[in-house]
Each structure stands twice: as C-alpha cells, then as structure tokens.
Structure 1
C-alpha cells in the first residue's frame, strides 16, 4: 500500500524528481556516536561553518541546522559561528551589515586562534545577501581559496522585484517606510532610479560564488516572502514579459550563473521543497514555508540525511 500511495503521489505532483525513499544509499554512513577523536587529527585544521540569520532574526534561528549537521557528521572537525552581530538591526543597509559580519568572522578566527582548512556558509533569507557581499571584500580575499559549501535557504538573490504576493509586497513596503530600512529598499530595487546602479545588480557583477565547491539553493514554491525564482536564481515569466526591467533581470542572472558554469570545481545544486503545512494564516501569506526550512525537524532531518550532509564532508 505504501508503494501504491507513493506512485500515486508522484503522478499527482507532475514534476520531475525523486523521493528520499527511492534512494538505496543515505548521505552518511557514520554512526551518531563515534570513537573519541585523537588530538593528532586536529592538526589538519578545522572546517568553519558560518550561519547567518535573516530579516528580524537572531543567532538561534539556525540552531536546528547546526544540530543536524553535528549529529550527522560527528568527528567532522566542525566549528560553528552563529552570527549575532546583525541581530539587533537587520533593517540597516547591506554594506553596514556586511562590515559587521566580516568583523565577526575575522574576530572569531583570531580569538580562538583557529587553523582553518575550509569555510562554509549557511544563510537564511536576507542573510544570504550579506554572505555574498562579504565574499567581495578585500579583507576576505585570503579565505576565498578555503571556501567549501554555500547553503542558501530561501535566499532572495534576485530581490523581491517580481513577488507573486501583493500582500507580502505591501507589507514589505510598509515595513520599509516604518523602519526606514536600507536593506528592504535594496531588496526591492528602490535604492536607485537606475536599476543597474542598485545594490543587488552591482553585487551580481562581483565575483564570489564560483570559489565554492558547492552552491546549494533551497527554495519552496509555497514561500511567498522570497519568490521561488529569486531563491533558485532563474528567470520568471513576469520578467520575460517585462520589456523595461526584464532585460536587466536577465543580466543579473547571467552575472551570477555565468561564472558558476565556467568554474570547473564548482557545482550548482537546486533543491525544491514542498512542506506539509497546516491551514493557518502563516501558511496563507507564505511565512510558514519561509521559516519551515529552519524549524521543521521533519524537513531538516530528511534533507541532511539524504543529501545535505554530503555538502559538508
């Protein structure tokens, strides 16, 4: 009955893909409780994982993500930096928040005298833009060769220009007005009359993502806070029909994906997520799906067990 129900479900979805129950091999065969590490193993350096929260978030937002990676990769020489420098003011402009995160990373490495072998980033929502901005800074240049995985959870890489939710767009506009938010102004491409001079367009022209071994984009069509196509860095139908802004949008996508396609050692992976959500107001406005990538134990356990852990090995 399980197999019959599964086949029926796959037909109803009408999308190409596979379910985790179709896989014969899981992402990790390492036991949860391995033998104690030997001190000598630490000489090779550690894998620093920097977790960056989103708008109006805090350093505890990605705690479950951290927990499942630690459980799945015991003995992985992982050190987590749960970013907190921006949690008091995520409505500042991106340049200000970039400076704070960069200072926090460098201070963390120096404070604990860390010998870094690899650096990975995990961002949620707006935090992904701050991460990409950090990669462009001269002070971070030394660490570019150590970049390993960029896991983007619902990241508005193309902004919220073509949002499919009028309710959310109105809410963001009101929030921007009330909070005088630089970041929301930049996400909606209203920080300059010339779109090519907007922060997000100019960020797309700078190098960064191609230095990673894995660029993993996690997106959900149920998420109305961040457009599905923006989280996946791909074209949308509305942009194709828009003769004024559409071409600029296409340039941004090419700016981002072109270097990834040319980089031999970089792999781009997209994961589409469909959450089982209750019928609540949060689900209706798309917020439930936006935060489910952080607080759904069902999703996080399956994601890391089946695929996610591979990106941090």
Structure 2
C-alpha cells in the first residue's frame, strides 16, 4: 500500500519552494476562443509581430502548436506570426551564418507585407534561442530594439552544453558535430576557440540584447538532457563551481547575461520549471522526450498559456 500525502505535506518533505499552476486564483485569459470582429481603430500603433524560431534539425512547423494556443487564447489581438524557415535546410551551420539568414527573413517579412510594427516578440526552441539573441546584436536590427516585448525561451542552451550531465547525449552530439562538421555544435561546446573568453557564446554574452525586452521567460525542464537545466535557466551549476579552468568563465557569462536584466527597470525575468508526465520509452531515457514536449504536448501548452503564458503577449 502507498501512503498518500497532501500537497502541503509533500512540499514540506521535499523542501519545495515554488507555486503550482493549480494554486493560482486567476487565469491569464478569460476570453472565449472565438474572436469578436476586429476593430482596426484599436491598432493604430501597429501590429504585434511574433517571430518563432525552431531548433537543431527542426523546421518552421515545429512551433505551430505554440502559435495556435496563443491565437486561441488572445482572440481579437492583432498578432502576426513569422514562422522562420530560412535556417531549416542547414541548422548545423555556424551561428553567424544562421543569424544573417534570420535577420534577412525578418526584415524581408516586414517589408514584403508593409507591416507597421508596434511590438516584436520572439519565441525560440533549443538552439533557435541563441540565433535570436545573436540577431538582437546586429546593427540592422537596432531600430527595432525599442519595440521588443517578450522573449519566450523554450529549452534554450544559453550557457551552451558544456556541463551536460548525460554522457550518452554528449557523446551523440560530439559524433554529430564530427559527421556534419557542424559549426553550431562546436560553438555550443565552447570548442570554437582555444581561449574560452573568445568563444562565440562568451562574446555573445557580453553584447546587449535581453534587457530590451519587457518579459524574458526561461522555460526549462530537469527531465531534458539535451539542454542542461542550468543552461536553460541561465544559472550556475555544481560542476562549474568545481571546475577551476572554465568555471570562472562560466560565472562571468552568467553575470554578463543577468546583470543587465536586473538593472533594467522595465524588464521582468521569469523562470518556469516544467515537469512532464512522460511514458517509459527510450526517448524519455535519453532526455529527448522532455526536450520536444514543450513543442508537441498539447496538455503542457494549453495549461502554460492559459495560466501564465498569454500574459506575456498581451
């Protein structure tokens, strides 16, 4: 027989300090799924462009459910989605090349449809989050920085994959990098330069970008072994603390990223931890199931956006 504990008893036993979606008294949206007629006069200040960027070996359809639940939850909002596809043919290229492609795609989309931009938000999955951050640093994007609204990072390797606790995944990524001659995977493991302070990710951490957003939302899962939990949350890990060689560099990267966010008065940093109910499969064992569950789990996406996520796109 199992002993069933109340939620309060369980939290006390686990020393768990957080809030659950079931405890929240209000939902992020109480509007019906079917939108009323749009009033163009309400959108004189322009539309809200939401750019969705897929991850490694992904495609433009990866974030289709994310788009769907935002549209359903915010009826009547003037949202325009750009489902990025320019990099889907080669996500193994280096980040500079992929940055150029995404930036060209955004600017061409705005010009092609003659859009008047009121706000710009980004939603990225996995490696796509690094491409987004890199775009923010480009001179051609500078005019859009004041319009940045929300950055929703789904399992983003913001600190790379250096301290991955899964030997199996690390070995697999190493083999893939060798076979594909992937510049992006080389950069994620800090092997693109002998001096860690001259690697792509470290140099990117020194450039401004995230602090221009109103909301920076970091979604991470401890069940995800493709992207380390601490990397998706931009926080220190025990292994890095013990590493006297690269550990200090890791600390500097975290400070470079978080200090401007803390000092920016109009920017909110939100961390969301996700625990998925996953079947006992090989994908779950290697951590892939949790990595893609943020994209294809309707249960997670509906609850996340209905309870909290929609607030970041209003």
TM-score (norm 2): 0.97
**Structure 2 CA distance for partners of 1:245 and 1:105, relative to 1, 3 Å:** same
Cα displacement string for residues 88-130 of structure 1 (whole angstroms, at most 9, x for unaligned residues):
0000000000000000000000000000000000000000000
**Structure 2 CA distance for partners of 1:224 and 1:94, relative to 1, 3 Å:** same
- Look up the match of 1:223: 224
> SS in structure 2 opposite 1:145?
helix
**Cα distance in 2 between the residues matched to 1:163 and 1:205:** 23
**Cα distance in 1 between the residues matched to 2:14 and 2:54:** 31
- Look up the match of 2:37: 36
**Cα distance in 1 between the residues matched to 2:104 and 2:259:** 30
Question: 1:212 aligned to 2:216?
Answer: no
- Look up the match of 1:189: 190
Cα displacement string for residues 223-255 of structure 1 (whole angstroms, at most 9, x for unaligned residues):
000000000000000000111110000000000
Question: 1:232 aligned to 2:233?
Answer: yes
Aligned residues of 2:36 and 2:75 also touching (Cα < 8 A): no
**Cα distance in 1 between the residues matched to 2:12 and 2:285:** 25
With 10-19 and 269-278 compared, the bigger mean Cα shift is at: 10-19
**Cα distance in 1 between the residues matched to 2:75 and 2:187:** 40
> SS in structure 2 opposite 1:44?
coil
Q: Which runs of 5+ in 1 are unaligned?
A: none
> SS in structure 2 opposite 1:299?
helix
Tell me how far 1:14 sits from its aligned partner: 4.0
Question: What RMSD in Å do the two structures reach over aligned CA positions?
Answer: 1.3
- Look up the match of 1:89: 90
- Look up the match of 1:275: 276
- Look up the match of 2:128: 127
Tell me how far 1:33 sits from its aligned partner: 1.7
Tell me how far 1:34 sits from its aligned partner: 3.2
- Look up the match of 1:143: 144
With 87-96 and 33-42 compared, the bigger mean Cα shift is at: 33-42
**Cα distance in 2 between the residues matched to 1:280 and 1:30:** 38
Cα displacement string for residues 197-233 of structure 1 (whole angstroms, at most 9, x for unaligned residues):
0000000000000000000000000000000000000
**Cα distance in 1 between the residues matched to 2:279 and 2:15:** 22
Question: 1:69 aligned to 2:62?
Answer: no
Tell me how far 1:40 sits from its aligned partner: 2.2
- Look up the match of 1:55: 56
- Look up the match of 1:266: 267
Tell me how far 1:11 sits from its aligned partner: 4.9
Aligned residues of 2:218 and 2:270 also touching (Cα < 8 A): yes
Tell me how far 1:41 sits from its aligned partner: 2.5
> SS in structure 1 opposite 2:124?
strand
Q: Which runs of 5+ in 2 are unaligned?
A: none
> SS in structure 1 opposite 2:211?
helix
TM-score (norm 1): 0.97
| Count of residue pairs the alignment pairs up | 311
- Look up the match of 2:311: 310
- Look up the match of 1:251: 252
> SS in structure 2 opposite 1:156?
coil
**Cα distance in 1 between the residues matched to 2:311 and 2:74:** 9
> SS in structure 2 opposite 1:216?
strand
- Look up the match of 1:162: 163
> SS in structure 2 opposite 1:235?
coil
> SS in structure 2 opposite 1:275?
coil
> SS in structure 2 opposite 1:191?
coil
**Cα distance in 2 between the residues matched to 1:13 and 1:308:** 27
